[in-house]
């Protein structure tokens, strides 16, 4: 089981919370605040899971999911979208872009860790 997780989240508090939770559960994490850095970091870090926000500055999370899934090296890595972007049809669009998991913010610890364990 790859215990490495890339966390793409522009909100400092959410990024710290996700990383702290994951580290406390034995994972190695690589935090990224800017979606533009996510592809390069994923190639360098080679995570077993990418956890990402959908509303990111400079790049759409949907575009980032599609870019990850189009990359021959990264396409097998599961993606968990954790987002406040939770309107009608949003989960469907996010899953169609390639995310294997979806959680709406605010996120509780137990469902978050269950989703992580299911995908990694």
The residue segments making up the domain with residue 69 are 4-119
Mean of all residue pLDDT scores within the chain: 93
Distance CA 42, CA 82 (A): 17
**Domain count for the chain:** 1
CATH no. for residue 80?
Answer: 3.40.50.2300
Q: What is the DSSP code string of 48-76?
A: SEEEE-SS-SSS-HHHHHHHHHHSTTTTT
Length of the chain measured in residues = 120
What would the pLDDT profile of 92-103 be if each residue is shown by its tens digit? 999 999 999 999
**Omega before 106 within 30 of 0, i.e. cis:** yes
If you average pLDDT over residues 74-84, what whole number do you get? 95
- Comparing 8-12, 22-26, 88-92, 102-106, the range with the smallest average pLDDT is 88-92
Residues 59-76 pLDDT 10s:
889 999 999 999 999 999
């Amino acid at each position: 089981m790859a215990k490495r997780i890339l966390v793409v989240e522009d909100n400092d508090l959410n990024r710290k919370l996700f990383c702290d939770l994951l580290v406390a559960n034995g994972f190695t994490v690589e935090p990224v605040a800017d979606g533009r850095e996510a592809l390069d970091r994923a190639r360098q870090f080679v995570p077993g899971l990418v956890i990402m926000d959908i509303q990111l500055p400079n790049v759409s999370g949907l575009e980032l999911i599609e870019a990850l899934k189009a990359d021959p090296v990264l396409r097998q890595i599961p993606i968990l979208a954790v987002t406040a972007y939770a309107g009608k049809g949003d989960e469907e669009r996010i899953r169609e872009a390639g995310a294997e998991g979806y959680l709406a913010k605010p996120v509780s610890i137990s469902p978050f860790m269950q989703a992580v364990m299911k995908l990694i």
